[in-house]
Structure 1
Amino acid sequence: MKLSSLEKHVQSLRQQQPNKRVFSFEYEHKKYWLKQVEKVRGAMKLLKSDPQQLLTTEIDTLKRYNQLKAPVPVVACSGTDFVVIEDAGVTLKHLFLKQKLTTEQALPVVQVVGKALAELHAQGLNHGRPALRDIAWRDGKVTFIDFEAYRADMDILSLQSRDLLVLIHSFYRDLGEAGHTLVHQAVAAYREAGGEDVWQHALAKMRRLSWLEMLLRPIKPIAGKDLRPLYPMMDFIKSF
């Protein structure tokens, strides 16, 4: 098959950067991201999921979602061990932490995020890990990126409620207590945009796990960065 000029350029970049997993580049005044299969060595092969399968899953998911006009990056080209997507803007994590938006500036952003996730779910789709680092923002538009954590091993309602809980957890993980107001707005926007059934499912799931609170409270002072957000998250759930 004859390669396009972009594919030839990508081929050259991959020869120059064979071990760099993810990097951006510009081609004809347009920004792209190139992701290659992660090279896992030594004992890490036993601890990590199959990198080839993860990338294959991401490529297949992106292409399928592209066909459905879902808010995901456009796949410019791909191969068995790489994918090139069009740039979709800065991540929400960068927007909130590096550009340091005020709460007033951030509120309309998270409302769009909540609405966008509800609309993705309304299409019968899910993301897998819509954390703040996996959501891009440009010109008032949200794009869901990085689908290596995509999964389809549960019923869609469970997968979508998991998405919502991951998003809530991410607000507290990355923004701490400052994320509380933003979580309320994101969830409210999600529910108003048609996500009520998923929200109720997520709420019921967290309530069933309420016994964890008593178990985890004693170790709060030494909790790690992934466990620490569970405390304000549980308090948030109890407010409903």
Structure 2
Amino acid sequence: MTNPAPHSAPDAAELLRLAQQMPHARIAKLKHNGRRYWIKRAEVTPLRFRLQKGNGAVAFRREVARLKAFAAKGLPVPPILAETPDMIVLAHAGKPLTRLARRGTDDEIRHVLSLAAEALAQLHKAGLSHGRPRLRDICWNKAEIRFLDLEAGARLQASRVRQARDLMVLLHSIFQNDTDISAYAHSALAAYGRADHGRIVPLARRMARWLRPVAFLVAPLIRRDRMRGKPNSEFVAFADLLDFLS
């Protein structure tokens, strides 16, 4: 179930008090007055992993700044309801699209994937990019799409190449999620294209052609996964994406 319709804005101080009483975790769910919220903290990165993963505190502050910047432009991200220098409390954004893709009806899946693609196109028209718009990083609350996790490459001034990559990541996620919904990639691409006005889809198609040599290099892995009956493997989804866009 999604949150009930709001009657009054939650008290930020109370949300922080409750969040600080909970066991420390990078991401945690908070329930208060019949509503759900999400607590997100900076990732504590051991020194030996910082070269690989980066500084967790820096990444956290960058994501907070991006959430605020996206929200200021009216783009669909969960609002920050309370914050400290190392923690934020976010409004519940709904269910991730991975869950909808497993349990929704054909019409629901087609409709919501189209809405997600359209929302991504609107984000791109504002000059931004998400960086990793996979189905698990997009939510639906039966009223609107919300994008999560802006820490993985989101940009406030994005190039067309980054935006085309966003579109390809979304489509790849559809192919990787389940072969039963891969047919809805057509609906998603059409919805994106209607809002895109010809800017990004042609570039994504060209990039798919440029990536053909990569598919050749990983062809043994693609054949292996197909033979093992893994239609939703990362490699098979990559090959399906290139075929779809080429």
Which TM-score bucket, shorter chain as reference?
0.7 to 0.9
Contact 2:127 2:156 in 1 (8 A): no
In the aligned structure 1, how far is the partner of 2:203 from the partner of 2:157? 14
Q: Deviations over 1:202-231 (max 9, x none)?
A: 111121121222222122244694333211
Aligned residue in 1 for 2:101: 96
- Look up the SS of the partner of 1:197 in the other structure: coil
Aligned residue in 2 for 1:16: 22
Aligned with residue 134 of structure 2, among 131, 134, 141: 131
| Aligned residue identity for 1:7 | A
In the aligned structure 2, how far is the partner of 1:193 from the partner of 1:153? 19
Deviates more, 1:182-191 or 1:219-228: 219-228
How do 1:81-120 and structure 2 match up within 5 A? 81-97=86-102, 100-120=103-123
Aligned residues: 231
Contact 1:76 1:85 in 2 (8 A): yes
| Aligned residue identity for 1:72 | V
Contact 2:101 2:181 in 1 (8 A): no
Aligned with residue 37 of structure 1, among 15, 39, 42: 42
| Aligned residue identity for 1:79 | T
Contact 1:93 1:133 in 2 (8 A): yes
Q: In the alignment, does 2:193 pair up with 1:185? A: no
Tell me how far 1:42 sits from its aligned partner: 6.2
- Look up the SS of the partner of 1:229 in the other structure: helix
List gaps (5 residues or longer) in structure 1.
none
Q: Deviations over 1:8-40 (max 9, x none)?
A: 44244334312x110111233332110011123
List gaps (5 residues or longer) in structure 2.
1-9
Q: How big is the alpha-carbon RMSD for the aligned residues of Structure 1 and Structure 2?
A: 2.2
In the aligned structure 2, how far is the partner of 1:55 from the partner of 1:155? 20
In the aligned structure 1, how far is the partner of 2:168 from the partner of 2:157? 15
In the aligned structure 2, how far is the partner of 1:11 from the partner of 1:118? 38
Aligned with residue 240 of structure 2, among 225, 228, 232: 232
In the aligned structure 2, how far is the partner of 1:228 from the partner of 1:40? 33
- Aligned residues: percent identity? 27
- Look up the SS of the partner of 1:83 in the other structure: strand
The normalised TM-score by structure 1 is: 0.87
Q: In the alignment, does 2:8 pair up with 1:6? A: no
Residues 173 and 72 of structure 1: CA distance in aligned 2, closer, same or farther (over 3 Å): same
How do 1:213-224 and structure 2 match up within 5 A? 213-222=215-224
Contact 1:59 1:78 in 2 (8 A): no
Tell me how far 1:167 sits from its aligned partner: 0.3
In the aligned structure 2, how far is the partner of 1:23 from the partner of 1:40? 18
The normalised TM-score by structure 2 is: 0.85
Residues 37 and 68 of structure 1: CA distance in aligned 2, closer, same or farther (over 3 Å): same
Aligned with residue 174 of structure 2, among 168, 171, 177: 171
Deviates more, 1:41-50 or 1:183-192: 41-50
| Aligned residue identity for 1:237 | L
